[in-house]
Structure 1
Amino acid sequence: MNPVVLAYIYLGFAIISEVIGSTFIVKSEGFTKLLPSIAVLFFYCIAFYLLSHVVKVIPLGIAYAIWAGVGIILTAIIAFVVFKQSLDLPAMIGIALIICGVIVINLFSKTAGH
């Protein structure tokens, strides 16, 4: 398999793992509940392990920008759906700008690794 494609697959799983870990932070209630706290550590370890393989192929700045952007978007969606937390208009505009930034990086940047 093409190393760049594999790196983006790893990045996708890293982002998903980080978002799951972030979701468990809420459930851990300040790390006072054991099982959710263990889940946070477990999913964050997976996320950073996968990210360590991603940056072998994709430059760190690009990988982290995608990681952060997509992670913010997915975390906001989970916060809305699971925890019933709403977003105001400035937050939604900010998320839209993040989406635009990730698209610009992937379509137009020569450093994106593809």
Structure 2
Amino acid sequence: MHWLFLVFAILSEVIATSSLKAAAGFTRAAPTAIVLIGYLSSYYLLSRALETIPLAIAYSVWSGVGAVCIALIGRFFYHQPVTLSLVAGVALVLAGVLVLQASVGSHPA
């Protein structure tokens, strides 16, 4: 169940972050509301996930998967270019998540 909280925390954070551009510096009401509700929901759901998932794992998955999703949204919705450095950065983020998971998983709580 807590992994489901983490999945929805990631989705909420990605929706909120994606809406930042549309909020235009918080001058547009609807996108601003989406940003605020999205971030509040994301942090609440992340806190629920942390009840059983180790902090290093939950946060690295939350931020890593979120960063990858935002990179994809930037590409497909905002037509931002895919550069070698973007691909390398995404690969490093994913590698970091895997290393943290392996590190935390190898030590008893």
- Mark yes or no: TM-score above 0.5: yes
Alignment of 1:12-27 (within 5 A): 12-27=7-22
* Alignment partner of 1:62 out of 47, 57, 73: 57
Residue 87, structure 1, aligned to residue 77, structure 2: no
The two structures have a TM-score, normalised by structure 2, of 0.88
CA contact (8 A) 2:56 2:101 kept: no
Seen in structure 2, the aligned counterparts of structure 1 residues 111 and 47 have a Cα distance that, compared at 3 Å, is farther
The two structures have a TM-score, normalised by structure 1, of 0.85
Percent identity reads: 36
* Alignment partner of 1:77 out of 72, 75, 82: 72
Taking the aligned partners of 2:24 and 2:107, their CA distance within structure 1 comes to 37
Number of residues of Structure 1 aligned to a counterpart in Structure 2: 108
Shift of residue 111 of structure 1? 6.4
Q: CA RMSD in A?
A: 1.9
Structure 1 residue runs without a partner (length 5+): 1-5
